[in-house]
Chains A and B, each alone.
Chain A
Amino acid sequence: DTAVSQTPKYLVTQMGNDKSIKCEQNLGHDTMYWYKQDSKKFLKIMFSYNNKELIINETVPNRFSPKSPDKAHLNLHINSLELGDSAVYFCASSRPLVRAGETQYFGPGTRLLVL
């Protein structure tokens, strides 16, 4: 009955590799997000999709490419991984914005370590 799930939970890889992180939500939400948490615990939005359409794209290197095959899934593909990509990546989802302050529900995170 997990609401927002991510796979894998841990990912250790070498510089230069390409990897993907998957996110699925079973809350029936239309909007999904990717956040990055750095080593100092600071969290920042990367991308957001609303019903498979990209609505937020922060200044993220184009090595990062989100893909939403349907509104319950938002995957993150990272090309040519760099040491600085090491972080915890969180997926989140929410209902569409019909009023201010829709709650975002977070997944457990994917801990990426690039060696």
Chain B
Amino acid sequence: AQSVTQLDSHVSVSEGTPVLLRCNYSSSYSPSLFWYVQHPNKGLQLLLKYTSAATLVKGINGFEAEFKKSETSFHLTKPSAHMSDAAEYFCVVSKGGATNKLIFGTGTLLAVQP
């Protein structure tokens, strides 16, 4: 069965410092992985996705993630945090098959200090 584990429920960084949000996945086959962001009282926006092409995936707003099969990880990074990055981030795996069912992680709340 597919699942994702977000290792940190809260991450706090200072503006201008790097961001690292950690995600490990479990999948019986090559997974499709996503990172979504949810700003307060807003919907979910896709940051980036991995679908068995390049292992380093670049997304919007300067975010990127690297798929590491040996570590079953898909960590999200950004070189320099901005105040507007403060939000909830979800790591997601697609179950694939005929249903495209998404399995969400429990989320990581990113706080950015001035």
A and B assemble together: yes
A94 at interface (Cβ–Cβ under 8 A)? yes
Q: Could you tell me the distance between the alpha carbons of A45 and B102 in the complex, rounded to whole angstroms?
A: 7
A77: chain B residues at CB < 8 Å are none
Number of A-B residue pairs at CB separation under 8 A: 66
Min distance, Cβ A90 to any Cβ of chain B, angstroms:
6
Of the listed stretches A11-19, A68-76, A79-87, A96-104, chain B binds A96-104
B114 at interface (Cβ–Cβ under 8 A)? no
A44 at interface (Cβ–Cβ under 8 A)? yes
CB-CB nearest 8 A-B residue pairs:
A101-B32, A101-B51, A106-B44, A43-B104, A108-B43, A106-B43, A100-B32, A100-B96
Chain A interface residue count, Cβ-Cβ cutoff 8 angstroms: 27
B90 at interface (Cβ–Cβ under 8 A)? yes
Task: Find out whether the CB atom of B99 lies under 8 angstroms from the CB atom of A48.
Answer: yes
